[in-house]
Structure 1
Amino acid sequence: MPLQVDVTSIIAALIVIVLFVLIILISGLRVLREYERGVIFRLGKVLPKEKGPGIIFIIPFIDRMVKVDLREDYFDVPHQRCITKDNAPVDIDAIIYHKVISPIDSVIKVANWRLAAVGIAQTTLRSVVGDINLDQVLAEREKINTVLQEKLDEVTARWGVKVTGVEIREILPPTSVLDAMIRQMEAERIRRAIVTEANGKRESAILIAEGEKQAMITKAEAKRRALSIRAEGSKQAMILRAEGYAQALERIVSVAKTVDEKTMALQYIETLNKIGDKNARKYVIPSEALEALKQIGRGIPRATNPGKQEDSAK
């Protein structure tokens, strides 16, 4: 009977030990997802390589695991007052995108890298904004994002964290500056409208002037053609008149050849009579006229004295 008690006790003790070992072993199992890594501290000292993903085992009561998420994440940089280079106050907030690239460094080199990154982002943002004017802050948001990302990445790289992007979410200048910006935008819109209207009028004037020019060219061309046709007609008329004169002269010459000298002399005297002044007291008779008279005199029989004629008859 005492022997049976001892065997039962031993079996029970073994079962308890096995269960205890199983519990310890089970408690040492960990499951890490694809985007998770485990940084293991063994008796306070970090192991040189992180664990995961999948099922890993840590020694209970000896190892301690810190999970690190490798997915890209973001945090907000709260609104803060920044002073620009031209002493204009602006309220700015931003979003910082980041991801862990070294799980061990992100755990052992900084106590809370997210909180530290927020502080660095605020300080860097004030520094970047302080180096530029208000107009540049409002107009060059992408440039601010790039500069802020580069400076943040230089600081967070030693923590095993990569800054993948920075976005300025909101920029709030003072009310007076906002009013001035609104007035400036209205003035710019008015200016653009005036420029557009002026360009339209200019194009319209150009088209009208071009049309008038083409009309003037067409009129001038038509006038030139009309003058050319008229000149051609005048030329043809003059040619016809000249031909008529030539034919008339030929006719006169041919007729004159058949007329004797006496007839020509009479015609000459008649012409002189027409061109002479009837009221003039003096006449200028050319020598040719005298010759003509002589020719006429030779052709007229001389009148004899009647008395002499009778004597000769007797």
Structure 2
Amino acid sequence: MPADMNDYFKNKLENNNEPPKFLKEFSKKATILYVILAVIVLLIIAKPYEIIQSGEVGIKVTAGKFDPIPLGPGIHFFIPGIQKIIKVDTKVRIINYKSERDTAFGDVNEGIIEKPSISVLDARGLPVSIDLTVQYRLNPANAPQTIATWGLTWEEKLINAVVREVVRNVIGRYKAEELPVKRNEIAKMIEQEIRQKIESFQNKPVILESVQLREINLPPKIKEQIERVQIAKQEAERVKYEVEKAKQEAEKKAALAKGEAEAKKIRAQGEAERIMIEAKAQAQANEVIGKSITPELLKLKQINVQGKFNEALQNNKDAKIFLTPGGAVPNIWLNAEDNKKATSIGR
């Protein structure tokens, strides 16, 4: 076989051993895919990121050093093994100091810490327990400094310790029986002193929302004593009310009697004035009448009476005539058969 013929078949065989072009392209894409999958697996295993939710801040720690700038909501990456991100809650949190556990939320009490009532001694050394509710939240702007200084148990060191100290100091100033009476004063004092102490901490680590005094639990003997005093006060108030009511009733009756007496007095005065006015008018009338009587008038009157006398004699023949001593006009007594009639003709 000629030499050029051998070269032809040799080249043909070599060309047939090369992989197709699409296989070369697939191989390259597969390599890239493997790399991507490896990166994804690495991310899943190492998880070099942290997602911060609303109501939280993140604190990046690099080789044990806290970054002073807090991380806001969103996704944040870090270098595994060298860095880490600590998430802390900045929402309002509650500590309930109470004698019984709150079961209103079942077993899920997110952000609510329940602690026993605060046991303290009053001014005489008697035991008293106080129920409080404290609402607060971590200051997000200074969260890195707070966690760096106080650690993740900052609530126990900043809130619980301060609350217990203030409650003991305030309650220790009063006697047990004074506590219920001065409840509002004590509640205000406890909140003011807790707020002052928390705000005095460097970097303002906590924002205090409110402090509510819910219950003052007194010793049984003190409670019985207070109840007796309250019953006595209620009885005294009842007696005072009855006395006041009786006094008011007496004053009312006295006022009515006085009013009636005044009314009678006014009526009597009115009657007296009426009589005086009538008497005065009669006197004036009599005076006028007296002044009006003249001898001529009397003579005329006598003539009129004499005329009536004459008429009487004409009608009654048996009439008897008699004169009244000192009188100017005669009187006539009339007898008619057996019946007697008296007629007096006067002035």
TM-score normalized by the length of structure 2: 0.62
1:22 to 17, 40, 44: 40
Cα distance, 1:17 vs structure 2: 5.1
Question: Structure 1: where are the runs of 5+ without partners?
Answer: 256-270, 272-314
Q: Is the deviation greater in 133-142 or in 224-233?
A: 133-142
1:65 Cα shift? 1.5
SS in 2 for 1:49: coil
Counterpart amino acid of 1:209? A
Alignment correspondent of 2:93:
73
Q: Where does residue 145 of structure 2 map in the other structure?
A: 105
Q: Does 1:152 align with 2:214?
A: no
Equivalent residue, structure 1, for 2:220: 175
Aligned partners of 1:245 and 1:148: how far apart in 2?
A: 103
How far apart are residue 30 of structure 1 and its match?
Answer: 1.9
1:39 corresponds to? 59
Change (3 A) 1:23 1:60: farther
Q: Give the letter aligned to residue 79 of structure 1.
A: S
Distance in 2 (alpha carbons) for counterparts of 1:85 and 1:164: 29
Superposed, 1:239-254 pairs within 5 Å as 239-243=284-288, 251=295
Q: Could you say which residue in structure 1 is the equivalent of 2:155?
A: 114
Give the one of 199, 203, 211 matched to 1:166. 211
Structure holding more helix per residue: 1
Q: Corresponding residue for 1:204?
A: 249
Q: What root-mean-square deviation, in Å, do the aligned CA atoms of Structure 1 and Structure 2 show? A: 3.3
Letter in 2 for 1:30: E
For residue 109 of structure 1, what is the amino acid of its counterpart? T
Matches within 5 A, 1:1-314: 18-25=36-43, 27-77=47-97, 78-101=116-139, 102-111=142-151, 112-116=153-157, 117-157=159-199, 158=201, 160-243=205-288, 251=295
Q: Which amino acid is 2:127 matched to? A: P
TM-score, length-scaled by structure 1: 0.68
CA displacement 1:213-247 (0-9 Å, x = unmatched): 22112111111111112122333333444455556
Tell me the secondary structure at the aligned position of residue 60 of structure 1: coil
Q: What are the ranges of 5 or more consecutive residues in structure 2 without an aligned counterpart?
A: 1-17, 98-115, 300-325, 327-347
SS, match of residue 61 in structure 2: strand
CA contact (8 A) 1:24 1:60 kept: no
State which structure, 1 or 2, has the greater radius of gyration over its C-alpha atoms.
1
| 1:240-297 residue CA offsets vs partner (Å, 9 max, x unmatched) | 444555566x649x99xxxxxxxxxxxxxxx9xxxxxxxxxxxxxxxxxxxxxxxxxx
Structure 1 residues 203 and 154: CA distance shift in structure 2, 3 A = closer
CA-CA distance at 1:104 after TM superposition: 1.2
Does the CA-based 8 Å contact 2:177-2:226 persist in structure 1? no
Q: Residues 225, 80 of structure 1: CA spacing in aligned structure 2 closer, same or farther, 3 A cutoff?
A: same
Deviations along 1:101-141, one digit per CA (max 9) or x if unpaired, are 13213311113112222233212211111123334422333
Corresponding residue SS for 1:98: strand
Q: Which amino acid aligns with 2:246?
A: K
Query: For 2:177 and 2:235, how far apart are their aligned partners in 1?
Result: 21
Decide whether the 8 Å contact of 2:187 with 2:213 is kept in 1. Answer: yes
Distance 1:246 1:164 in 2: 107
| Residue aligned with 2:117, SS | strand
For the structure 1 residues 149 and 13, does the alpha-carbon distance in structure 2 shift closer, same or farther, using more than 3 Å as the test? farther
Instruction: Specify whether residues 216 and 39 from structure 1 end up closer, same or farther in structure 2 by C-alpha distance, changes over 3 A only.
Output: same
With over 3 angstroms needed to count, the CA separation of the structure-2 counterparts of 1:67 and 1:86, relative to structure 1, is same
- Between the two proteins, the alignment pairs up a number of residues equal to 250
For 1:60 and 1:46, the matched residues in 2 are separated by 15
C-alpha distance in 2, partners of 1:48/1:72?
22
